[in-house]
Amino acid sequence: MNKPLKQHLIDPEICIRCYTCEMTCPVEAITHDDNNVVVDAEKCDFCMDCIPVCPTGSIDEWRVVNTPYSLEEQFSWEDLPAQGDVGTSAAQGGSVEALDDAMEALLAEAHKGAGGKSKAPASAAKPTVNMYNLGKPAIAKVQGNYRLTSTESGSDVRHLILEFGGQPFPVLEGQSIGIIPPGLDANGKPHLPRLYSVSSPRDGERPNFNNLSLTVKREEQGLCSNYVCDLKIGDEVRVTGPFGATFLMPEDPAARLLMVCTGTGAAPFRGFTMRRQRAAAGASGDMVMFFGARAPDSLPYFGPLNKVPDRLLKKHLVFSRIPGVEKEYVQDRMMVEQEVVANLLADPKTHIYICGLRGMEQGVELAFKNIAESTGLGWEATRDAMRDEGRYHVETY
Ligand code: NAP
């Protein structure tokens, strides 16, 4: 019999197919087919470089096995096999205890990045994932493409509306879709899809239409962002997904939402807000948003956001590049509003969502830590408990 060994796996249900792990792996142990992103047990040397770059924590799965799962087996999975299903003897019932000390230390370090392993809110609706893939994408038609930011701002952020006609494409707020840019890469292979958060609610950008919206910023060198930002009404787009099974809204109308975002990271929170507006207008749980952009004319949805009543959404819009005004980041405003944040942190009904630039994570965590500790709460313990209860979510790139 083979000696039991640790195998690194990726949870196909939670993975959002951003392929960042594949691009990061220094030994090319991570690969994909049309369906899944998987780890080759023969190549993986447990360097852990892929763990902190994963936005969902789906990369952080381990099983003790007698015989490693093959690539073919992993490609076919819709969800991960439980540890108990594995192997024949020693591996049965084997678990994290079987990991050696060095591995545990590495994992503990890795979990510090990317917000650790995320869980869906207990009351969230069940998401549909991975319905369309690289080999079988949905074909959507562009219904609208509107610029959200001024020409003078130097930032071209677009509101895209995609329509799916008769193809079922069920999404929940907070989920993402992939867009496959046309053409081939430098190696003559089709381009991988690029991920965008859906910015409309589950019942459509227009209620009861089979459409959804995205919020996309044109990046100077961005292959897909330029393709998307230049799309015209009626153009056809190849779409994969939907993806994401944890960054979801609670259904509970008493749940309180604290949303922290920068730039286009506001996309999912537009969906959250519209969902509450449409489906739970009288919800007792409040929504508080800290949203950072360079200036009002580069903050996506600045006008419409200001029209959302405070009783539904309390907005703290902060700006970093207004001439003559001191730079302000979301974490600075959180400190100014620390009583509001402390009140939310102390409430078991509160769900925290952080979305946007990866660089903001550290500053936002520090603000939470200062605020929590000023009220006698240990931040790490509070955050980890919230994460385990599906109440702490991070999606940063
Ligand atoms: P951006 O305009 O570059 O930045 C937005 C604001 O964040 C600016 O005020 C910026 O200030 C500030 N900022 C920079 N570093 C910060 C830090 N360390 N802490 C706090 N604030 C900081 O943003 P963007 O280009 O729109 O990028 C948004 C990010 O969201 C991207 O990484 C994108 O991939 C990600 N995202 C997008 C979606 C989507 O669906 N579109 C979904 C999820 C995540 P400065 O003046 O200092 O630059």
The whole model's pTM is what? 0.90
- Ligand 1 neighbourhood includes 156 CB (under 6 angstroms): no
Upper half-sphere CA count for residue 297 (Cβ side, 13 Å)? 7
116: left (phi over 0), alpha (psi -120 to 50) or beta: left
On the question of a common fold for 5-110 and 256-396, the answer reads no
Convert the pLDDT of each residue in 134-150 to its tens digit: 999 999 999 999 999 99
Convert the pLDDT of each residue in 360-388 to its tens digit: 999 999 999 999 999 999 999 999 999 99
> Which residue, judged by its Cα, is nearest atom 3 of ligand 1?
263
Is residue 239 scored above 50 in pLDDT? Answer: yes
Residue 396: other Cβ atoms inside 10 A: 19
Convert the pLDDT of each residue in 27-65 to its tens digit: 999 999 999 999 999 999 999 999 988 988 899 999 999
- Ligand 1 neighbourhood includes 197 CB (under 6 angstroms): yes
b/e sequence 310-341, b meaning 16+ C-beta within 10 Å: eeebbebbbbbeeeeeeebbbbbbbeebbebb
Average pLDDT over residues 150-166: 96
If pLDDT is split at 50, 70 and 90, which confidence band does 121 have? very high
CATH numeric code, 256-396 = 3.40.50.80
> Which residue, judged by its Cα, is nearest atom 7 of ligand 1?
262
Is residue 107 scored above 80 in pLDDT? Answer: no
pLDDT value at residue 115: 53
If pLDDT is split at 50, 70 and 90, which confidence band does 3 have? confident
**Is the domain defined by 138-243 classed in CATH 3.40.50.300?**
no
- Ligand 1 neighbourhood includes 294 CB (under 6 angstroms): yes
> Which residue, judged by its Cα, is nearest atom 19 of ligand 1?
360
Convert the pLDDT of each residue in 255-279 to its tens digit: 999 999 999 999 999 999 999 999 8
Percentage of residues in the chain having pLDDT higher than 70: 91
Is residue 282 scored above 90 in pLDDT? Answer: no
If pLDDT is split at 50, 70 and 90, which confidence band does 85 have? low
If pLDDT is split at 50, 70 and 90, which confidence band does 91 have? very low
Token pair 């001191």: residue:
326
Query: β-pairing, 30-32 with 37-39?
Result: antiparallel
pLDDT value at residue 113: 46
CATH numeric code, 5-110 = 3.30.70.20
Is residue 103 scored above 70 in pLDDT? Answer: no
Indicate the helix (H) or strand (E) that contains 257: strand 256-262
Is residue 353 scored above 70 in pLDDT? Answer: yes
> What is the rounded distance in angstroms from the CA atom of residue 358 to the CA atom of residue 363?
10
pLDDT value at residue 94: 41
pLDDT value at residue 397: 86
pLDDT value at residue 89: 37
- 14: Cα separation from own chain's centroid: 10
pLDDT value at residue 150: 95
| 346 bridge partner residues | none
pLDDT value at residue 93: 38
If pLDDT is split at 50, 70 and 90, which confidence band does 283 have? confident
If pLDDT is split at 50, 70 and 90, which confidence band does 116 have? low
> What is the rounded distance in angstroms from the CA atom of residue 95 to the CA atom of residue 364?
34
> What is the rounded distance in angstroms from the CA atom of residue 223 to the CA atom of residue 158?
15
- Residue whose CB lies within 8 A of the most ligand 1 atoms, among 157, 229, 264, for a mutation test: 264
Q: Bigger pLDDT: 283 or 315?
A: 315
pLDDT value at residue 118: 85
- Ligand 1 neighbourhood includes 22 CB (under 6 angstroms): no
Considering the chain, what is the average pLDDT of its residues? Answer: 91
pLDDT value at residue 88: 39
Q: Bigger pLDDT: 397 or 32?
A: 32
Is residue 209 scored above 50 in pLDDT? Answer: yes
pLDDT value at residue 52: 87
Q: Bigger pLDDT: 204 or 53?
A: 204
Is residue 100 scored above 60 in pLDDT? Answer: no
Q: What is the 99 CA–ligand 1 centroid distance (Å)?
A: 37
Average pLDDT over residues 216-242: 97
Residue 146 burial (10 A CB sphere; 0-12, 13-18, 19+): exposed
Q: Where are the domains of the chain?
A: 5-110, 138-243, 256-396
Is residue 90 scored above 80 in pLDDT? Answer: no
Is residue 208 scored above 50 in pLDDT? Answer: yes
- Ligand 1 neighbourhood includes 365 CB (under 6 angstroms): no
